[in-house]
Amino acid sequence: MKRKLTLKLIAKELDVSISTVSKALRDSAEISEDTRQKIKAFAKLYNYKPNNIALSLKNRKTRTIGIIIPQIVHHFFTTVIRGVEQMAREHNYNVIITLSNNDFDKEVLNMELLANGSTDGFILSLSKETMQKDDFRHLTEAIDQGMPVVMFDRIVDEIPCDKVLIDDREGAKLGVNHLIKTGCKKIAIITTEDYITIGKLRTKGYMEALESAGIEVDKDLILKLDAIDELNDKAKARIKHFLKGKDIDGVFTINEIFAVTAAKYIMEADKTIPEDVSIVSFSDGELSQHFVPSLTTVSQHGEEMGRKAAELLINKLERPEEEVEQYTTAYIDTSLIERESTKRVK
Amino acid sequence: MKRKLTLKLIAKELDVSISTVSKALRDSAEISEDTRQKIKAFAKLYNYKPNNIALSLKNRKTRTIGIIIPQIVHHFFTTVIRGVEQMAREHNYNVIITLSNNDFDKEVLNMELLANGSTDGFILSLSKETMQKDDFRHLTEAIDQGMPVVMFDRIVDEIPCDKVLIDDREGAKLGVNHLIKTGCKKIAIITTEDYITIGKLRTKGYMEALESAGIEVDKDLILKLDAIDELNDKAKARIKHFLKGKDIDGVFTINEIFAVTAAKYIMEADKTIPEDVSIVSFSDGELSQHFVPSLTTVSQHGEEMGRKAAELLINKLERPEEEVEQYTTAYIDTSLIERESTKRVK
C-alpha cells in the first residue's frame, strides 16, 4: 500500500467509523476488545503513523502536580505528600516536590521553577519567613495568571485559591478537653509566637477549653517559642526552665517535638507520666508513636489533607475554564488518639 | 508539541506494565514470545528511541537537579536532601524531588519525568522493588544517553555512574565493637533480608566484629526482617517474639525504627537499658535523639552524603564533555554517637 494510511482509510477498509478507529488506537474501553485488536493489527500491518506519537496525549498538559513545602524533616508534611501522591496516582498525575526551607526567596524561586512549564498547578504550605514578611505577591501573581493553586496548613486567608485546613482551635480544644476530662486542673501549654497562625489558633483553643471548664487562664503556664519545626538548644533550655518546679498536672503542646522534649524533662525531674503529669501533643507522628510512654495526640490526618488538596487541584485542572473561578476551603477533622501519656477518662 | 515515546506510553498503549515493556525490549525470557513481539513491533512502529534524552541534553541547561528517593517518611533521606539543597544553593542550582514509594514502575516514571527536560541530571537511591527485580535498564539507558546520574546509599555496583556510599560493613563493626568494648558478650542483631544490600553488609560487619573479638556467631541471635523503612504489625511481632526470653546483653539494629521497637519490648520485659541490655542503632535520626533513653547510634552523616552527591553531579555538569567519562565512588565516614543506651567504656 503506497498511499499514506490515515484514520479515514483504516475506517473505510474495516467498515467502521473514524471515531471507532481513533478510540481503538488509543485503547479506549468503549470499543470491544475484538474490534480494537483488529484495528490495531491492521494499523500495524500497514505501518500507520499518527501525527502525534500517542493519540491519547494530544493536547495534554504535563499531568504533573508541584508541591512546595517549608521542609520535610517533619512527619506531618511527609504524610501530606503521601496523600497527594496517592490521589495523583489514582488520577494518573505525577508529583514533584520542592522545599522552601522556610525561606522566602527560595519559595519564590520554587514557584517560578514549577510554574515554568513543568507542572499544571501546585499545592503549597507557606514558609515561616513568608508569613513573617506578610508578602504574597509571588502567589497572587501566579494565581492571576491562571495557575491553579491549593494552599494547606500554613495559609493566608486573603489569597484567592482553594485551601485545605484543619480547625486548629477546635483541635486544640479537643486535646485540652481530654486533659481536663482525665482530671488535670493545672494545664500548661508550649506553643509558638503568634505570628505563626497555627500556634496562635491552637493557643486560642487552649484558652477557650480552660475557660469553658471554669479554669482560669494563667499566663505563667503559657510558653511561646520562636521555633516551629526544629528545636535548637536555646529553645530546649527554655522548655526545661519553664517546667522546672512548676506545679502542673498536664501539658498541652502544639507539636510532638515540644512534647517529647517536655516529657524528657518531666521524667528527669522524677515525675511519672501520666500519673504526675499528663501530656497531649498536637500532630501525630513517629515520635509520638514510638516514644515510651507513647503520646496521646491530636491527629491532623495529614494523608487525608494531602488527598483533599490533590483532589481540589485535579478538579480545577480538569474542569472547563468558566467553572474555575470559585474557591473552596475544605476542613479536615482532627481526632484524638489516646495513648499512654494520659490517664483513662473516669 | 510532539510527544516523545516513553516506556510509560508504550506500557499504557499496550496495557502492560512498564516492567514488561522494559524486559520485552531487551528480549527477556521472562516475557512471552508473543508479548515481546507485540511490544517490539509497537516500539519500532512508533520509532521508540531510548536516546532521545541525549538529543535534548545538548544546549540545555535547566540548572535543576532531580532527586529520586524511595520515600521521605525516613529521617535519613530527609537529611540527604538537606545536604543536596545546601550544595545546590551554593552553586545556584534548583532541586526538585520525586518519590518512588519503593515501587519499580514509579521509579521508572520519575526518571522519565525528570529526564524529560526539567533537570540537568539526578541523584538517586534505588527503590526496594527495583533491588528485588534486579532490573536497572531505566538507569543504564539514561546514563548511556549522557544523563549524569549519582547514586547514593541504595546502589548497584555494576551501574557506571558516580556513587556516594558509606562503608556499611565498617559502620556496623564500629557499632558492634562499641557494644563489645562496653562489656556486652551476647549480642543480637535485627537486620533485613540479604537482598537489601545495606542490610547484608551491616550483618556482615556485625559478624566480623564478633569474630575479631573471639565471640562465636550464633544464628539464633540474628533476626532478618523483610522490612526496611516502616514496620508493620507482623514485623513488630517478630521482634517481640525474637527478644522474648533471649539471654542477651546487647542488641545492634540496622536502623532506628528497629532499635526503638526493640527498646520498647526490652523495657516491657522489665529489663533496664543499658544495665541489662545495651542498644546501638545504625543511622542517627530524631527517634534516636529524642527517645528516653536516647540511643547510641552509628551516624551515616546524611547531610554530608547529600552534599557530596550534589558536588559530584555539579562537577559532571560543569565539566567539558571529554572529561566526564570517569566515575568516582566517594565514601562518607560513619561515626559513633554515644548516648544513654550503652554503658561507658571501662
Please report the DSSP string for B31-79 in residue order. Answer: S-HHHHHHHHHHHHHTT--TTHHHHHHTT----EEEEEES-SSSHHHHH
Shortest Cα distance, chain A CAs vs residue B184, angstroms = 24
Look-up: residue for cell 494499523? A43
Shortest Cα distance, chain A CAs vs residue B111, angstroms = 11
B285 grid coordinates: 535520626
Cα separation of B179 and B183, whole Å? 7
Most A-contacting residue of B97, B239, B270, B294 (CB-CB within 10 A), to test interface: B97
* Of the ranges A39-48, A133-142, B100-109, B253-262, the best mean pLDDT one: B253-262
Shortest Cα distance, chain B CAs vs residue A30, angstroms = 15
B contacts of A57 (beta carbons < 8 Å): 3, 9
Shortest Cα distance, chain A CAs vs residue B144, angstroms = 23
Does the pTM exceed 0.80? no
Cα separation of B93 and B103, whole Å? 28
B contacts of A290 (beta carbons < 8 Å): 257, 260-261, 264, 287, 291
Pairing status of strand A64-69 against strand A121-124:
parallel
- With beta carbons less than 8 A apart as the criterion, state whether A82 and A303 touch: yes
The residue type of A267 is: M
Cβ-defined contact of B292 to A267 (cutoff 8 Å): yes
On the question of pLDDT at A322 being above 70, the answer is: no
Cβ-defined contact of B113 to A64 (cutoff 8 Å): yes
B330 grid coordinates: 566517594
Tell which wins on pLDDT, A219 or A228.
A219
Among candidates A79, A98, A267 on the partner chain, residue whose Cβ is nearest the Cβ of B96: A98
Phi first, then psi: what are they for B245, rounded to 5°? 70, 5
**SS3 assignment, position B97:** strand
| Alpha-carbon A254 to chain mean position | 17
On the question of pLDDT at A143 being above 90, the answer is: no
| Alpha-carbon B271 to chain mean position | 33
Q: Which residue of A has its CA nearest to B113?
A: A94
Among candidates B75, B260, B263 on the partner chain, residue whose Cβ is nearest the Cβ of A73: B75
| pLDDT reported for residue B1 | 27
B241 grid coordinates: 517474639
Q: What is the pLDDT of residues A246-287, one digit of tens each?
A: 999 999 999 999 999 999 999 999 999 999 999 999 988 889
Shortest Cα distance, chain B CAs vs residue A123, angstroms = 14
Cβ-defined contact of A97 to B94 (cutoff 8 Å): no
CA distances to A177, B102, B251 from B154, in Å:
46, 11, 24
A261 grid coordinates: 522534649
Mean pLDDT, residues A207-220 taken together = 97
Q: How many CA atoms lie within 13 A of A121 on its CB side?
A: 26
| pLDDT reported for residue A140 | 84
Q: Which domains does chain A have, with CATH numbers?
A: 7-45 (no CATH), 62-166+302-334 (3.40.50.2300), 168-300 (3.40.50.2300)
Cβ-defined contact of A96 to B99 (cutoff 8 Å): no
| pLDDT reported for residue A4 | 54
Of the pLDDT bands very low, low, confident and very high (cuts 50, 70, 90), residue A59 is very low
Q: What is the pLDDT of residues B100-144, one digit of tens each?
A: 988 888 888 888 888 877 888 999 999 888 888 888 888 888 888
Cα separation of B310 and B95, whole Å? 10
Least confident among A82-86, A137-141, A241-245, A290-294: A137-141
Q: Which residue of A has its CA nearest to B267?
A: A292
Most B-contacting residue of A22, A75, A94 (CB-CB within 10 A), to test interface: A94
Among candidates B41, B85, B98 on the partner chain, residue whose Cβ is nearest the Cβ of A99: B85
| pLDDT reported for residue B229 | 63
Most A-contacting residue of B9, B68, B73, B100 (CB-CB within 10 A), to test interface: B73
Averages of pLDDT over runs of 10 residues in chain B (346 residues) are 64 84 79 85 72 45 89 83 94 92 86 82 90 85 85 88 94 98 97 89 97 97 84 91 95 95 95 97 91 95 96 87 74 96 89
Q: Residue B305's closest CA among B156, B180, B56, B124?
A: B124
The residue type of B101 is: N
State which H helix or E strand residue B169 sits in.
helix B168-181
Among candidates A47, A78, A109 on the partner chain, residue whose Cβ is nearest the Cβ of B73: A78
B contacts of A44 (beta carbons < 8 Å): 41-42, 45
**SS3 assignment, position B309:** helix
Cβ-defined contact of B73 to A94 (cutoff 8 Å): no
Cα separation of B251 and A147, whole Å? 53
**Residue A250 contacts by C-beta under 8 Å, 6 or more apart in sequence?**
A179, A184, A185, A186, A187, A188, A277, A278, A279, A280
Shortest Cα distance, chain B CAs vs residue A172, angstroms = 23
A contacts of B46 (beta carbons < 8 Å): 49, 53-54
On the question of pLDDT at A53 being above 70, the answer is: no
Task: Provide the ipTM.
Answer: 0.73
Cβ-defined contact of A98 to B97 (cutoff 8 Å): yes
Cβ-defined contact of A98 to B94 (cutoff 8 Å): yes
Mean pLDDT, residues A295-306 taken together = 95
On the question of pLDDT at A303 being above 90, the answer is: yes
Cα separation of B207 and B176, whole Å? 9
B contacts of A49 (beta carbons < 8 Å): 45-46
Q: What is the pLDDT of residues A155-194, one digit of tens each?
A: 888 899 999 999 999 999 999 999 999 999 999 999 999 8
How big is the A-B interface in CB pairs under 8 Å?
A: 113
Terminal Cα distance for chain A, rounded: 86
Pairing status of strand B335-337 against strand B296-299:
antiparallel
A contacts of B14 (beta carbons < 8 Å): 27
Three-class DSSP labels, chain A: CCCCCCHHHHHHHHCCCHHHHHHHHCCCCCCCHHHHHHHHHHHHHCCCCCCCCCHHHCCCCCCEEEEEECCCCCHHHHHHHHHHHHHHHHCCCEEEEEECCCCHHHHHHHHHHHHCCCCCEEEECCCHHHHHHCCCHHHHHHHHCCCCEEEECCCCCCCCCEEEEECHHHHHHHHHHHHHHCCCCCEEEEEECCCCHHHHHHHHHHHHHHHHCCCCCCHHHEEEECCCCCCCHHHHHHHHHHHCCCCCCEEEECCHHHHHHHHHHHHHCCCCCCCCCEEEEECCCHHHHHCCCCCEEEECCHHHHHHHHHHHHHHHHCCCHHHCCCCCEEEECCEEECCCCCCCCC
Shortest Cα distance, chain A CAs vs residue B284, angstroms = 13
| pLDDT reported for residue B205 | 98
Query: Is B83 buried (19+), middle (13-18) or exposed (0-12) by CB count in 10 A?
Result: buried
Shortest Cα distance, chain B CAs vs residue A259, angstroms = 10
Cβ-defined contact of B292 to A290 (cutoff 8 Å): no
Opening angle at CA A71, ends B297 and A262, nearest 5: 55
E strands along B179-328, which residues? 187-192, 222-225, 250-253, 278-282, 296-299
